[in-house]
Amino acid sequence: MRKLMLLPAIAAMLAVGSAKSADAAYCNAISYQDCGGCASASDVVPAASGGCGTHTVMKTVRETVYEQVQETRYRTRYVRSTEQREVQATRMVPVTTQKEVQYTVMKPVYETRTKVINYTVKKPVYETKTRVINYTVQRPVYETKTRVINYTVQKPVYETKTRVINYTVKRPVYETKTRVINYTVQKPVYETKTRVINYTVQKPVYETKQRTINYTVYRNVQEQKTRTVNYTVYNTVREQRSRTVTKSRMVPETYTRTIQVRGGHWETQTYEVPGPTRTRVIREPGTCTWDPCQCKNVYTPGCCRTETYQCAPRTCTKRVWHPTCETKEITCTRYRRECYTVEVPYTVCRQVAECRTKEVCYTVCRRVPECRTKVCNYTVCRMVCEPRQKTCTYKVCRMVCEPRQKTCTYKVCRMVCEPRQKTVCYKVCRMVCEQRQKTCTYKVCRMVCEPRQKTCNYTVCRMVCEPRTKTVCYKVCRMVPECRTRTVCCTTMQKECYTKTICVPKCEKVCEPYTVTRCVPRTICKQVPVQVCCPAPASCGGCNSGCGC
């Protein structure tokens, strides 16, 4: 029983072994890849030892193709429309009524009267008077004085000294040397080869198709309607009235007051100003010294010293103000506020309501749906595979190493220390204090009081009262009440029921068909030629697969 169960396994192993022997007919040298050395599918190129030949084998390839399929689908669309409906409504309507109103008006009555006014006028009387003014003047008195000033001056004293300086100098020493350099150069070697490339080109094929599209267009429909509008107009009525206004005015009034007047005069004075003290730099004479290092005379400039001196004095002038004080009386005018009464007419405006009616035209616009149809052309593109072949020539570059040699000459520099010595002359300056003395002359000014006297004439104004009389005409206004009657329009609002037409929107559900094109994938099998590379019979001598080589 166990032997019978092993029979299918042995048969499967024999089938696999036969398949392996068939695959190894060319010692596993068959490949579906491009060898690059074959010209066509029918030519088999015999090869030497280690070469190969090619032939064409048909290979089954699966390819996915997309086909366009049209389907009819349905979609729900909501169509909006309006419907006219009559509705009962209430509105407020103005009602105008007229009534008579009694009112009282104050009517002015004017009377002309006369009165005598006694008043006093102040008449100015001028008098000329004389007075003597005593005043004091400050007079300058100058005195010349002398004083002695002791000061110290720093005087430079120079000394020449010498010192020896030891220093080291580095001197370059050059040597010439030679060395051999071995290097390698990469030299390119080019080879030209050829191979055949098989490729596939996708070629587009265009088809023109048509489809019908349904769409809805909304068209505007306008209607002209008329309605009555009640409105109120306010008319302006003007009335003349008068009122009493109290005003004020400024009346001039003259008075006298005593003031202090400050005066004076200018005097020119001369004084002497000492000259400014300045500083100047003076250079001492230089010397020539023999320098053994440079083998020539070297000029050494002298040292600089600072000297202070004073410039000549100068004479200046200045103006001095001498003040004076005087007393005098002046006439001034001031203004006094005085009140008086004036009758001023004015106009009063009031608004009177008036009801009017007018016809107003307005436009009502509603949208009416309209179904339309149009035919659209569209193009469908599908790609068709087309096999092609081309031969390419290319170059292969490989680098070959080539040894070379060159001789280089170079210099080596080394620094050698060399001691040297030089003598340097220098000057030392020290400051020595020296006492000096000078005499300065200066002026001192002191003010001396000097009494003086002068006579002034001035005018005095005094006001003398003078009585006068005048007759004045004036008007007296008294208000007399007067009863009047007027008609007044009164507007009241009343409720009124009316019927109006309104547009009620509604929405309808519509199911409409439409066409959809979709791509459906489909797998197809097709035969594709493939170049197979196989070895020569001589290369298969060691194969025991029974390939017949």
Q: Could you read off the pLDDT of 507-527 as tens digits, one per residue?
A: 777 888 888 888 888 888 888
Could you report the per-residue pLDDT of 330-370, keeping only the tens digit for each?
Answer: 888 888 888 888 888 888 888 888 888 888 888 888 888 88
To which residue do tokens 């280089």 refer? 408
**To which residue do tokens 């100068």 refer?**
314
Nearest to 111 by CA among 474, 476, 473: 476
Of all residues in the chain, the percent with pLDDT exceeding 70 is 87
Which pLDDT band holds residue 9 (cuts at 50, 70, 90)? low
What digits encode the pLDDT tens for the residues 281-297? 888 888 888 887 877 88
Name, in order, each residue with C-beta under 8 angstroms of 10's C-beta and a sequence gap of 6 or more.
none
Mean pLDDT across 88-114:
83
Cα–Cα distances in angstroms (integers) from residue 125 to residues 3, 331, 464, 465, in the given order: 175, 12, 7, 10
Q: How far is CA 205 from the centre of its chain?
A: 57
pLDDT of residue 1 exceeding 80, the answer is no
The H or E element that residue 23 is part of is helix 2-23
What are the residue ranges of helices labelled H in 84-222? none
Give residue 6's pLDDT: 54
pLDDT at 542: 42
Predicted confidence at residue 13, as pLDDT, reads 58
Instruction: Identify which has the larger pLDDT, 40 or 382.
Output: 382
Overall residue count recorded for the chain in this entry: 549
- Residue 225 · residue 362 · CB < 8 Å: yes
Asked if 490 and 97 touch (Cβ cutoff 8 Å), the reply is yes
Residue 532: count of CB within 10 angstroms of its CB: 22
**Using CA atoms, how far apart are residues 528 and 539, in angstroms rounded to an integer?**
29
Nearest to 136 by CA among 447, 446, 444, 445: 447
The predicted pLDDT at position 547 comes to 45
Q: How far is the CA of 25 from the CAs of 30, 45, 519, in angstroms?
A: 9, 18, 45
Burial call 40-59: b when 16+ CB within 10 Å, e when fewer: ebeeeeebeeeebbbbeeee
- Name the pairing type of β-strands 287-291 and 296-300: antiparallel
Q: What is the mean pLDDT of residues 37-55?
A: 44
Residue 269 to residue 156: CA distance in whole angstroms? 45
Q: Assign residue 27 a region: left if phi > 0, alpha if psi is -120 to 50, beta otherwise?
A: left
Nearest to 460, CA basis, from 312, 302, 327? 327
Instruction: Give the model confidence (pLDDT) of 239-280 as tens digits.
Output: 888 888 888 888 888 888 888 878 788 888 888 888 888 888
149 close to 440: Cβ distance less than 8 angstroms: yes
Q: Which residue has the tokens 């009585």?
A: 467
In this predicted structure, what is the pLDDT of residue 382? 82
Asked if residue 172 lies in contact with residue 415, where contact means CB atoms within 8 angstroms, the answer is yes
Q: Which residues pair with 144 in a beta bridge?
A: 443
HSE-up of residue 241 (Cα within 13 Å, Cβ side)? 10
Count of C-beta atoms within a 10 Å radius of residue 539: 19
Instruction: Quote the pTM value.
Output: 0.18
CA distance 444 to 458: 42
Q: Where are the alpha helices (DSSP H) in 227-288?
A: none
The average confidence (pLDDT) of the chain is 79
pLDDT at 534: 65
Identity of residue 451: P
Residue 544 is classified by DSSP as -
Cross-strand pairs, 444: 143
Quickly state the pLDDT bin for 8 (edges 50, 70, 90).
Answer: low
- Least confident stretch, 27-41, 143-157, 443-457, 507-521: 27-41
Beta carbons within 8 Å of 11's beta carbon, 6+ residues apart: none
Q: Which residue matches tokens 């010397």?
A: 287
Q: Cβ of 14: how many Cβ atoms within 10 Å?
A: 10
**3-class secondary structure per residue, 396-420:** EEEEEEEEEEEEEEEEEEEEEEEEE
Structure tokens at 264: 């004076």
Record the tokens describing residue 347, joined without a space. Answer: 């106009």
Please report which confidence band the pLDDT of residue 32 belongs to, taking 50, 70 and 90 as the band edges: very low
CA distance 257 to 496: 87
- Cα angle for residues 261, 265, 269 (degrees, 5° grid): 150
Residue 458 CA to chain centroid, in angstroms?
A: 77
Neighbouring CB atoms inside 10 A of 24's CB total 17
Out of 23-32, 150-159, 530-539, which region has the weakest mean confidence (pLDDT)?
Answer: 23-32
User: Which residue is it, tokens 């020569």?
Assistant: 536
The secondary structure element, H or E, covering residue 10 is helix 2-23
Distance CA 503, CA 305 (A): 117
Number of helices followed by number of strands (H, E) in the chain: 1, 6
Using alpha carbons, select from 146, 394, 114, 425 the residue that is nearest to residue 292: 425
Q: How far, in Å, CA of 117 to CA of 470, rounded? A: 5
Helix (H, G, I), strand (E, B) or coil at 45: coil
Burial category of 26 from C-beta neighbours within 10 Å (exposed 0-12, middle 13-18, buried 19 and up): buried
Task: Give the number of other Cβ atoms within 10 Å of residue 184's Cβ.
Answer: 9
